Structure 1
Amino acid sequence: MSEYVIRFFLGGIVVSAFAMVGDILRPKSFAGLFSAAPSVALATLGIAVDRHGAGYAALQSRAMMAGAIALAIYSVVVCQTLIRSPLTAMPATLISLVVWLIVAFGLLAMFGGGT
């Protein structure tokens, strides 16, 4: 239970810091990008280092980076699919999910995402 309390407070502090950075940047749409995801990742990695050591946290950070790269590619594929085809949002996202899975697991396989 105390791990969740620590994660809650640490995440809240880092969310606030990233929200301030996002508020300074233009356009304002970056504010959300710089608030939630990085702060949750940092809080999780901090707890992972404390509980399991640096090696485990390094493994988790590689998985987070692979997921982030895959999400960026997925987002581009969804946007391009919606622009260039007659598909609506649901089929485009479901089809593009395959791209996300291939990229994420491919990166993990190539760059040591194993336990």
Structure 2
Amino acid sequence: MVDYALRFLIGGLVVSLFAVIGDLLRPKSFAGLFGAAPSVALATLGLAFSKHGGDYVAIEGRSMMLGSIALAAYSVAVCQLLIRAEWSTLKATLAAFAIWLVAAIGLKQFLIG
């Protein structure tokens, strides 16, 4: 329970910091890049480091990076299917989910083993 409270507090502080940075940048669309996900990831890695050590955090960080690559593949696929192929939202997201799954599992198998 204490871990969740710490994650909440650290995440909130980092979200606030990123919101200020995002507000200072131009164009304002960059503000969305500095949202909750990076701060929650940093809070999670900080707590994992204090509890499990550096080796564990290295694995967690690598997993987060691989997940972000798979998410990028999903996002590109959704955009292409919605705009170019003019698929429905449900059909595009379901097809892109399959792409995300293949990318995530493939990256894990290829890079981690």
1:48-59 equivalent positions in 2, closer than 5 A: 48-59=48-59
Paired residues, what number? Answer: 113
Runs of 4 or more above 4 Å deviation: none
Q: Which residue of 2 aligns with 1:66?
A: 66
Q: Which residue of 1 aligns with 2:94?
A: 94
More helix by percentage: 2
Q: Deviations over 1:30-65 (max 9, x none)?
A: 212212110000000001111111111111111100
Once the two structures are aligned, what percentage of the paired residues are identical?
A: 58
Q: Which amino acid aligns with 1:83?
A: I
Structure 1 runs not aligned, ≥5 long: none
TM-score, length of structure 1 as denominator length: 0.91
TM-score, length of structure 2 as denominator length: 0.93
Structure 2 runs not aligned, ≥5 long: none
Q: Distance in 2 between matches of 1:98 and 1:21?
A: 35
Q: Cα distance 1:57–1:23, how it changes in 2: closer, same or farther (>3 A)?
A: same
